Amino acid sequence: MSTTFFLVRHAIKEKAFGDVSITPEGIMQAQLTAKHFCTLPITAIVSSPLQRAKETAEYIALGATASIEVDARLRERANWGDLPGQTFEEFVAMWDRCTREPEYMPPVGDSAKQAGQRLSSLLSELAELHPPQSNIVIVTHGGLITDFLVGTLPKEQTLRPGIQILLKYRASWSRSVR
């Protein structure tokens, strides 16, 4: 028995400081994503507390029978605007360093390694809370998903465009790469 997780990056967001909404193009993207999920038996939708993720989750919830739960553990490892006075260039430099050095602890937020472990821990907890064979949509951020996958997939695994990763939780992580 297993739980299936669908890791969804929020739709395209406004290019601005802080907790921003999705753009009109992002709305279309979220609607298309929702269309994909409306034919599946979705057990739960869990979203980051940031506006762009919650808005994306709301579109998915319109076609699913599940309500949205918000969980702070789905927040990005760092968000531009978390560190007062930080310029966008300084944020990008901090982000890049965290990506290159997964153990690096930035002045705000989590290291990439901590962020990936945070998502892994949440997925394990959700798998225990929900019945076997559950389908759970996780709406979060690209950086957090990347941090999780970097810590989960074997280092030698190379993903090509069009490759789909289906994560099923059993007693330990199993990975299907198609």
pLDDT 10s digit of each residue in the chain, 178 long?
588 899 999 999 998 888 899 999 999 999 999 998 988 999 999 999 999 999 999 999 998 888 999 999 999 888 777 788 888 898 889 888 888 888 988 888 889 999 999 999 999 899 999 988 899 999 999 999 999 988 877 665 555 554 455 555 444 444 444 4
Query: Whole-prediction pTM value?
Result: 0.85
Residues written for the chain: 178
Question: Checking phi first, is residue 81 left (phi over 0); if not, alpha (psi -120 to 50) or beta?
Answer: left
Q: Which residues sit opposite 22 in a β-bridge?
A: 13
Q: Which residue is listed with tokens 């999780």?
A: 148
What pLDDT sits at residue 154?
A: 60
